[in-house]
A and B are shown apart, each in its own frame.
Chain A
Amino acid sequence: MAIDAATVRKVARLARIAEPEERIEPLVQELNGILQWIEQLAEVDTDGVEPLTSVVHATLPLRDDVVTDGGDAARVLSNAPKSTDGFYVVPKVVE
């Protein structure tokens, strides 16, 4: 799959990354390079091989349903640029 300038702009927009216009063409080159590199993996025959989801040989740890956290709104909000009455305050989001 080749990446064009429109795709780069779209991906940047979806990721909320502002890329100046002069960076678009270099990014097209770089991303295509990365993809070509990854596509080399397609040379390996993986028929009948189950997809590997993790290189860690462990099972997903589960916790019991007990309340062990929360109850500290001040700590949660401590990095917020703006907060009022325990709420985060953000620029108006218009539906």
Chain B
Amino acid sequence: MTETFTLKGRTGDWEIVLGLEVHAQVASNSKLFSGAAVGFGAGPNEQVSLVDAAMPGMLPVLNKYCVEQAVRTGLGLKAQINLKSRFDRKNYFYPDLPQGYQISQFEFPIVGEGEVIVDRIDGTSFTVRIERLHLEQDAGKSIHDLDPKATYVDLNRSGTALMEIVSKPDMRSPEDAAAYVKKLRAILITLGTCDGDMEKGNLRADVNVSVCRPGDYEKFRETGSFSHLGTRCEIKNVNSYRFIQQAIQYEARRQIEILEDGGKVDQETRLYDPTKNETRSMRSKEEAHDYRYFPDPDLLPLVLDPAWVKAIEAGLPELPDAKKARLMSAYGLSAYDASVLTSDGDVAAFFEEAAKGRDAKLVANWTLNDLLGRLGKDGLEITASPISAADIGALVGLIEDGTISGKIARTVFEHMWDGEGAPAAIVEKHGLVQITDTGAIETAVDALIAANPDKPAAVKDKPQAIGWFVGQVMKETGGKANPAAVNEILKAKLGL
């Protein structure tokens, strides 16, 4: 068990409690209740039907594909699928909400309780309980900076299908919250129900933050009573792992300051400003949260056929947890390597392609350390890698059959990155073949001993000094000597 994340205050230690509401845009062609296109980059109001613009008399008609994606996601979260659910109206006024209400699911969501197992970097894992998943409409977009006296409204996003995934307050540190979103994103992408593009806002999180004293959270988990926890604030629409963590850090500190000064935290919605690294109160009007939900009279209850749900379940792909377990057992990978590889389906696919018939652990090392490290430096995704999976496999193959050493392989890797082609051709072209010919190595060793007659005695006293010989031999051979062979010959010649 990892240590509980604590923040030091003037009056003692504090802990934080986090619950997330993640909005995931359904990867559909058309909107939840209309036939207008869903997409990014169209001209203003080009992807709007009269339903999305809430013209009088327009009626919503539910998109079957969106329902299917909600069910798929629910199954992927090992959650209960509610065969009967209902759409409700959430009432509030805002210029980018033309209906004056958002169609959502309040009392009877399509998906009930589930869970997500999250891996931490240190190899431990924890479970986040999912409270529910429901379908709802996205709002349009208000643009405040085009005109000093007016707000511009684009309804292209209005009516786009969102899955709101609500967690229980099961995260206890900024890192855990980010890791949860990462895992959720991997599941969504594997299922194909959301493209997970956080930059475009297709996956964004509302973060509920509260602070409490050590021991309070355990009492909450025992009793289920929120009275043991502090008052929470909701930070809206945070759309990167880094911002999620920064916003939590700032917000927790802010609440601790208030409490230590003898004040009380107001339950409110706040906005995170990444440029100033602070959270600000959004709408503190006391009536803002009176949404007066009621069943949408335009929509009948949604009733699912159990056979249809079963068919969706049968068609689910291999999920990250199952894939991780398989990579561990089939390839002998560590839990950490397997979880990093499966955090992105494309990375896992790359690895499996490269590992065909090769030393899988070596392939995992090259994929995770060298390739992903290099891709990250250049801000590239694995799908845009200049080095193919087959070539990583071939590189490992050359190490395995002794053609090159691991050290030389790094040089070959650099040439591969520069687009010089297959590793075998690079080794040939640059004359990088490893010297395994013991005769050549012996000659080099003999010459070295002859040139430094005092050194062999020194090594007898201090066996670690053999490193000097190894280094010299490697230097003599341009790094191409097989290190194992060099060690063996040196030991024999020096009588160690």
Contacts and interface: CB of A to CB of B under 8 A. Distances in A.
B151 interface: yes
Contacts of A41: none
Given A68-B35, A73-B45, A85-B44, A56 B147 contact: no
A67 B93 contact: no
Interface in A33-73: 53-54, 56, 58-71, 73
B75 interface: no
Nearest to B69: A65
Interface stretch (B57-65, B356-364, B431-439): B57-65
B144 interface: yes
Given A63-B61, A65-B66, A58 B29 contact: no
Given A60-B300, A88-B95, A68 B30 contact: yes
A84 B375 CA distance: 43
Interface stretch (B47-55, B122-130, B243-251): B47-55
B44 A86 contact: yes
Contacts of A64: 63-65
A71 B62 CA distance: 20
B147 A76 contact: no
Contacts, number: 136
Contacts of A56: 300
Contact of A66 (B30, B51, B53): B30
Interface string B303-343: 10000000000000000000000000000000000000000
B420 interface: no
A22 interface: no
- Does more than half of chain B's interface fall in helix, strand or loop, or is it mixed? loop
A70 B300 contact: no
Interface residues of B, number: 55
Interface stretch (B10-18, B287-295, B440-448): B287-295
B154 interface: yes
B474 interface: no
Interface residues on A, range: 35 or more
A16 B48 contact: no
Interface string B355-379: 0000000000000000000000000
Contact of A70 (B46, B94, B143, B287): B46
B265 interface: no
Given A62-B63, A89-B152, A76 B303 contact: no
A13 B290 CA distance: 11
Contact of B303 (A60, A73, A84, A93): A60
A67 B156 CA distance: 13
Contacts of A93: 94-95, 142, 144, 151
B29 A67 contact: yes
A71 B301 contact: no
Contact of B61 (A13, A61, A71): A61
Contacts of B292: 14
Given A14-B287, A14-B292, A67-B36, A60 B153 contact: no
A33 B326 CA distance: 67
Contact of B49 (A62, A69, A84, A88): A69
Given A76-B45, A87-B143, A89-B153, 15 more contacts: A16-B93, A61-B62, A65-B64, A66-B35, A67-B29, A67-B35, A69-B35, A70-B49, A77-B45, A86-B43, A87-B45, A87-B154, A90-B151, A91-B149, A92-B144
Interface of A: 10, 13-14, 16, 53-54, 56, 58-71, 73, 75-77, 79, 82, 84-93, 95
12 contacts: A13-B287, A54-B300, A63-B35, A63-B62, A65-B63, A68-B30, A69-B30, A70-B46, A70-B47, A86-B44, A91-B150, A92-B147
